[in-house]
Amino acid sequence: MIKASVIGATGYTGAILTDLLGGHPNVEVRALTSASYVGRHVGEVFPHLREDGTYVEYSLDVVAGSDVAFVCYPHAEASRVVAQLVDAGVRVVDLSADFRLRSVSQYQEWYGFAHTRPDLVAEAVFGLPEVYRADIAKARLIANPGCYPTGMLLGLLPVAREIDDLGVIIDSKSGVSGAGRSPSEKTHFCAVHANFAAYGEVGHRHTPEMVQELSAAAGHALRVSFTPHLLPVERGILTTAYFRPRGGSRGADAWLEMYRSHYVDEPFVEVTERMPSLTDVAYTNYCRMTVREDKSAGLVKVFTVIDNLVKGASGQAVQNMNCMFGFREAAGLERKV
Amino acid sequence: MIKASVIGATGYTGAILTDLLGGHPNVEVRALTSASYVGRHVGEVFPHLREDGTYVEYSLDVVAGSDVAFVCYPHAEASRVVAQLVDAGVRVVDLSADFRLRSVSQYQEWYGFAHTRPDLVAEAVFGLPEVYRADIAKARLIANPGCYPTGMLLGLLPVAREIDDLGVIIDSKSGVSGAGRSPSEKTHFCAVHANFAAYGEVGHRHTPEMVQELSAAAGHALRVSFTPHLLPVERGILTTAYFRPRGGSRGADAWLEMYRSHYVDEPFVEVTERMPSLTDVAYTNYCRMTVREDKSAGLVKVFTVIDNLVKGASGQAVQNMNCMFGFREAAGLERKV
Amino acid sequence: MIKASVIGATGYTGAILTDLLGGHPNVEVRALTSASYVGRHVGEVFPHLREDGTYVEYSLDVVAGSDVAFVCYPHAEASRVVAQLVDAGVRVVDLSADFRLRSVSQYQEWYGFAHTRPDLVAEAVFGLPEVYRADIAKARLIANPGCYPTGMLLGLLPVAREIDDLGVIIDSKSGVSGAGRSPSEKTHFCAVHANFAAYGEVGHRHTPEMVQELSAAAGHALRVSFTPHLLPVERGILTTAYFRPRGGSRGADAWLEMYRSHYVDEPFVEVTERMPSLTDVAYTNYCRMTVREDKSAGLVKVFTVIDNLVKGASGQAVQNMNCMFGFREAAGLERKV
Amino acid sequence: MIKASVIGATGYTGAILTDLLGGHPNVEVRALTSASYVGRHVGEVFPHLREDGTYVEYSLDVVAGSDVAFVCYPHAEASRVVAQLVDAGVRVVDLSADFRLRSVSQYQEWYGFAHTRPDLVAEAVFGLPEVYRADIAKARLIANPGCYPTGMLLGLLPVAREIDDLGVIIDSKSGVSGAGRSPSEKTHFCAVHANFAAYGEVGHRHTPEMVQELSAAAGHALRVSFTPHLLPVERGILTTAYFRPRGGSRGADAWLEMYRSHYVDEPFVEVTERMPSLTDVAYTNYCRMTVREDKSAGLVKVFTVIDNLVKGASGQAVQNMNCMFGFREAAGLERKV
């Protein structure tokens, strides 16, 4: 049994992590920190989580002694706490964007802050187990991927070398929980219900993460045009990706077979012939996908679905922990959360 | 006052037409035909429509004497009735696909039936008033556009000549009413609620209509790759369109200005800087749109929203009627329906 | 043409009033006041309202000269402005609760503030046209009823004298727009979607208004037990009311006939045999209802539906204005809003 | 390990049972029968169920040898199969209504069929473990309660002897999955979304089951007036129950304490002070409830929530099986399903 803590445990991702860790066969929860709910029991705030601790204020003392800490702080706020914990010998899975980009200057460009720990940026491992499993096992610091990049990358990595120089078009549609628990005009029920729109139509912050990892897989720089949309659902992201295959048409079956063989051993990726939908994977850590060829237009279309809060955040964080500590990769992730 | 009839008045489009005609200042309703509700009053079946007639069985006799008839029959079933009415001297707005395609052989290819009236196919006018207003005024037979093509074409016609040879990618998201009133596994509340998926991912029947009209506007053949998705909402289509501009970057403002000047006199097209959403236009005949340039990816993105049952069907049908009979084009279409 | 102003025009009720007045044949809008949107055009904030003024800060000067003002302020804040306007000779329709209760002491008990204008409390007319039409015509100050009381009272007034001494049980279910436009944890999409719960289970503030008016109609004090619930919809209230008939069973048809004859001349009340549902009346000023007898339990059940923002607020306010100025009672209220 | 079969495994309740049994530590699935999906694998029809068998056609042979069979057939069709299985020595949990009512003549009155096995009606045990746990342990045939009665009875059994002679008013609100998987006009997304209405307003078939069991607990006949409503959600029932306490006011705390002590040892009943909501219990086997006193109206109000498909059907069926075979009562029911 290892000891795990959650820093910022009362947002959506923190709550799901709390539940996953509370039900994990190899984990004992050490500290759950919260700014707003100090002293309150988990069950008062979130009915039915599988963990019944009490929220405490964050300090190094209450977390020290943990084998691993999950940091669920906003971008730019996380890095200070992450650094403090890593320096103190606690392995960290950071759910913010603060260590996802390899180029230090990009934090200024995309997130508007000067990163003070280039050493940790260099050391951090991008936490997509389907790619970096071996590095994750040895890492002190995991940069857990963003929700949109997770679904997009899993859908394109098998064909990264086939994408022509025009790059990819990523049309993503996400549920409202991606915007977090804080109430705003944009998340008011009456603004979202029966509605649908794009947002962040050019230059969404998840773009550089997509470019970085897709280009790494392709072996050369690839362009990504990313457009997120807001769905009137709570959970899930469906991404429709379009690219022109460098080698021309292969036929639908060949593409499907390429995907199947790429992911044959993956516990959480499922390639299907039929079209996946959000409820196929809601509340689970699965990514489900299919691929089609539009021969007359010279395009390949890839469709992936994930639960943005599970495979797109907290479930993937636990999957990373499982890799870090040599547990079975699906441990604690078999069931709906 | 002209006399108008609705053939197939108890599907979604027929019901909205009934309401629009019932409230139209220049129209008197002559006959409302229905297979399932013969003898029943409108108010029993649809509360609050602005028309209180009784449904009758279709025959040429009950419709003859109408100045115009709206045919709301399924594809392949409509053409027989449409032909009968036109032959009898009734001007027709056909809401089916049976006269939308100019090439007779395409009906076999895309809709699976051999068209028996090539003369009427040749004569029919595609009912998009923003393009064919002058022809519509003189037409005996209007082929009312499909819901997806309406939003897509309005969004791309201003730039048809700017689209490069790779063509356009059309990622559309539609509400459930587009599937019609007949219950099925796919329209069951529990299948749609909290869910989202693509369907007809390659080769959807609205594709040839898009190709035909966009190519006509461009002056040469253009490729269209169309992917529809099903939203958990009742009303509306949002289309996200992607293309590479033949002449390269112009900057966002220039594209916006091109759209604004193209549509400056249109009563039902609104070009805005801010992102449109479904509820902006729900229950109205408006199409609202904006345009963005993703310079780093070399792409232009266009976003359009319509109500699939109004501008995408019945409202546009009334707009066509207004053009045919010289009424003010917005007559009867000012308010929510 | 009269001149009308809306005080607090950018909440939900203010926006709908703005639309209704903008489309009203006998009204010219004088001032639209707002705390948050001063200087902005209506169309920027609310697409498609039928009025295109600019929001101004409230002052007596900008409103003076209006024939009527609609006050859309929160409870306890409204009374000061209402008094100022009435004293200045402007007739007022107050959408808050500040003049609904006839007993001055009840404001302290139920709303927590000491009322400073008992003279206006005594003068105000309760704005339910179906009961107080004649008084409304002459009134300087109308207290527009609450949304829950409107549906409940219309459903029980025809039988007020038949209710036995145990009184009535009112089980109401409301859409989220009843909670207003301000974002909160309770109106977050993720809190409401796929959910349902009761709130204010004992002692909701609309109770004394129900007791006052139902007792007045009965001619003696009646007890009301009111329980509101929150539905995952934007618009509408369905109220299920239960009472034991003083005179015992009459049979379902007799009850229905009693309702029909009571409301035979009302423009906005519809008694139907079939069960009404929220979408029957959404976006309209109608109240639709039916009645059932549960003979074996000795109970009568009444079901009413309204749109909480129209007949439950802004539409009813316009209906009151129509009565005050001698316009046709349905003027400006025929269409969806 | 016991052997269990599901008869009619491809409706909503059958699918959830399949999942629960597939993940149950003490159960091996023997046969899954289906009329529509013979020969197809579970995973093709329902993604992510924890069981991967193949559907077979029903026959006594394929089920014989099971220790227990769950029958998920419609009312009136179930009894024949149930009788055949019990006669063949298979213990049965019947999810239909065919053995819930103790009086044989009631089947004719409420369900319109003449029951041919009064012997089994007499022998069947009503499967509410919170009441009949001891009898269930020994039973050959369990009549699994209806979804509405489950939530209603759990909410009123602690106070059955306190209810006065006027009986109880039961105002229930259910999600759409209660209507089953078959598509119909009433379950079409566009009919339910953004809507709400009552149905079966007098004489719903679940009434006699409520009367039978509540009267049994009270020790004398009690009247029940039941009104179900349809919510635009997939899962859950919230029941609001009203009664007048025989002994007058006790104060809210005393009622709450009475509930807490009644259910102190129950694994699946939770009494809370705060108001429960549907998502508290969605996808779980829990029933959560609270109680309020409306002193001025002389009423007690009870609020209960369950998931209609889990505690209201398949979860309770597994809980019954656990009682029948001496397993831990919560075995296989700890997690979301």
Two tokens, residue A299: 């395009």
Q: What's the order of all strands across the beta sheet hosting D168-174? A: D197-198, D224-230, D168-174, D237-243, D299-306, D287-294, D269-271
H-run or E-run covering C28: strand C27-33
Q: How far is C219 from chain B (nearest CA, A)?
A: 35
Residues of A in contact with D23 (CB under 8 A): 335
What share of chain C has pLDDT > 90, as a percent? 96
Interface predicted TM-score of the whole assembly (ipTM), two decimals:
0.96
Give the separation between CA B23 and CA B29, rounded to whole angstroms: 10
Average pLDDT, chain B: 96
Average pLDDT for residues B329-333, to the nearest whole number? 96
pLDDT band at A52 (very low <50, low <70, confident <90, very high): confident
Say if residues C263 and C243 touch (Cβ distance below 8 Å).
Answer: no
DSSP at D42: H
Active site residue A147: yes
Query: A65 touching C, CB under 8 A?
Result: no
pLDDT band at A216 (very low <50, low <70, confident <90, very high): very high
Q: Which residue of B has its CA nearest to D189?
A: B189
- pLDDT at residue B44, rounded to an integer: 87
Query: D284 touching A, CB under 8 A?
Result: yes
Average pLDDT for residues B141-158, to the nearest whole number? 98
- pLDDT at residue C71, rounded to an integer: 98
Average pLDDT, chain C: 96
- pLDDT at residue C175, rounded to an integer: 98
- CA A17 to each of CA A14, A47, A143, A221: distance values in angstroms, whole numbers, following the listed order: 5, 14, 16, 34
List the catalytic residues of C: 147
Query: B185 touching A, CB under 8 A?
Result: no
Angle at A186 between CA A143 and CA A38, to 5 degrees: 55
- For chain A, list the domains and their CATH numbers: 2-123 (3.40.50.720), 148-308 (3.30.360.10)
- Cα–Cα nearest to D176, from D238, D232, D240, D96: D232
What share of chain B has pLDDT > 90, as a percent? 96
pTM: 0.96
H-run or E-run covering A119: helix A118-123
Give the separation between CA C190 and CA C202, rounded to whole angstroms: 26
Contact D193 B184 (CB under 8 A): no
H-run or E-run covering B5: strand B2-7
Of C183, C232, C233, Cβ closest to residue A188: C183
Q: Is C120 helix (H, G, I), strand (E, B) or coil?
A: helix
Which stretch of A3-7, A241-245, C49-53 has the lowest confidence by average pLDDT?
C49-53
Two tokens, residue A168: 């990819």
- pLDDT at residue C336, rounded to an integer: 84
Of D193, D286, D336, Cβ closest to residue A336: D336
Average pLDDT for residues B303-309, to the nearest whole number? 98
Average pLDDT for residues D9-27, to the nearest whole number? 96
- Residues near A69 by beta carbon (within 8 Å), at least 6 away in sequence: A4, A5, A6, A7, A63, A85, A90, A91, A92, A93
Two tokens, residue C307: 């749109």
Average pLDDT for residues A315-328, to the nearest whole number? 98
Query: D265 touching B, CB under 8 A?
Result: no
- pLDDT at residue C51, rounded to an integer: 87
Q: pLDDT of B3-58, one tens digit each? A: 999 999 999 999 999 999 999 999 999 999 999 999 999 988 987 788 889 999 99
Say if residues D65 and D91 touch (Cβ distance below 8 Å).
Answer: no
Residues of B in contact with C15 (CB under 8 A): none
pLDDT band at D125 (very low <50, low <70, confident <90, very high): very high
- pLDDT at residue A111, rounded to an integer: 95
Average pLDDT, chain D: 96
Q: What count of residues does chain D have?
A: 337
Beta strand pairing status for B224-230 and B141-143? Answer: unpaired
Give the separation between CA C155 and CA A320, rounded to whole angstroms: 59
Contact B283 C336 (CB under 8 A): yes
Q: pLDDT of D180-203, one tens digit each? A: 999 999 999 999 999 999 999 999
Residue type, D177: S
* 3-state secondary structure string across B183-228: CCHHHEHHHHCCCCEECCCCCCCCHHHHHHHHHHHHCCCCCEEEEE
What share of chain D has pLDDT > 90, as a percent? 96
- CA B253 to each of CA B57, B259, B291: distance values in angstroms, whole numbers, following the listed order: 54, 10, 9
Say if residues C253 and C270 touch (Cβ distance below 8 Å).
Answer: no
- pLDDT at residue C335, rounded to an integer: 81
Q: How far is C113 from chain D (nearest CA, A)?
A: 22
Say if residues D235 and D278 touch (Cβ distance below 8 Å).
Answer: yes
Q: Which residue of D has its CA nearest to A268?
A: D48
- Which DSSP string do the residues of A204-248 spell out, in sequence order? -TTHHHHHHHHHHHHTS---EEEEEEE-SSSS-EEEEEEE-BTT-
- CA A132 to each of CA A136, A142, A208: distance values in angstroms, whole numbers, following the listed order: 6, 10, 18
> Best of B106, B294, B300, B307 to disrupt the A interface by mutation (most A CBs within 10 Å)?
B294
Contact C225 D299 (CB under 8 A): yes
- pLDDT at residue D97, rounded to an integer: 98
- pLDDT at residue C121, rounded to an integer: 98
Q: What's the order of all strands across the beta sheet hosting A224-230? A: A197-198, A224-230, A168-174, A237-243, A299-306, A287-294, A269-271
- pLDDT at residue C337, rounded to an integer: 81
Q: pLDDT of C191-204, one tens digit each? A: 999 999 999 999 99
Give the separation between CA D139 and CA D136, rounded to whole angstroms: 5
Report C:164-183 residues touching A (Cβ under 8 A). 176-177, 181, 183
Give the separation between CA D115 and CA D121, rounded to whole angstroms: 9
B109-113: long-range contacts (C-beta < 8 A, 24 or more apart)? B109/B208, B110/B205, B110/B207, B110/B208, B111/B75, B111/B76, B111/B205, B112/B76, B113/B76
Residues of A in contact with D286 (CB under 8 A): 48
Q: pLDDT of C237-269, one tens digit each? A: 999 999 999 999 999 999 999 999 999 999 999
- Cα–Cα nearest to C328, from C133, C145, C138, C63: C133
Q: pLDDT of D277-303, one tens digit each? A: 999 999 999 999 999 999 999 999 999
Two tokens, residue A76: 């730019």
- pLDDT at residue D44, rounded to an integer: 87
- pLDDT at residue B198, rounded to an integer: 98
Q: Has residue C291 got a pLDDT over 90?
A: yes
Angle at B210 between CA B206 and CA B216, to 5 degrees: 150
Two tokens, residue D19: 């999942």
Say if residues A96 and A78 touch (Cβ distance below 8 Å).
Answer: yes
- pLDDT at residue A337, rounded to an integer: 81
Residues of C in contact with A177 (CB under 8 A): 190
Q: Has residue D95 got a pLDDT over 80?
A: yes
Going A218 to A221 to A223 to A228, the CA torsion angle's sign is positive
- pLDDT at residue A316, rounded to an integer: 98
- Cα–Cα nearest to B332, from B268, B238, B243, B252: B268
pLDDT band at A185 (very low <50, low <70, confident <90, very high): very high
Beta strand pairing status for A287-294 and B197-198? Answer: unpaired
Q: Which residue of A has its CA nearest to D333?
A: A335
Q: pLDDT of B64-97, one tens digit each? A: 999 999 999 999 999 999 999 999 999 999 999 9
- CA C243 to each of CA A255, C124, D95: distance values in angstroms, whole numbers, following the listed order: 67, 30, 35
- pLDDT at residue C302, rounded to an integer: 98
Average pLDDT for residues A326-334, to the nearest whole number? 96
Q: pLDDT of D207-257, one tens digit each? A: 999 999 999 999 999 999 999 999 999 999 999 999 999 999 999 999 999
Beta bridge partners of C29: C4
Say if residues C232 and C249 touch (Cβ distance below 8 Å).
Answer: no
- Cα–Cα nearest to D41, from D13, D68, D22: D22
- pLDDT at residue B151, rounded to an integer: 98
- The 10 Å Cβ neighbour count of residue B177 is 25
pLDDT band at C96 (very low <50, low <70, confident <90, very high): very high
What share of chain D has pLDDT > 70, as a percent? 100
Q: Has residue D47 got a pLDDT over 80?
A: no
Q: Which residue of D has its CA nearest to B230?
A: D189
Give the separation between CA A65 and CA A70, rounded to whole angstroms: 14
Two tokens, residue C279: 């979408």
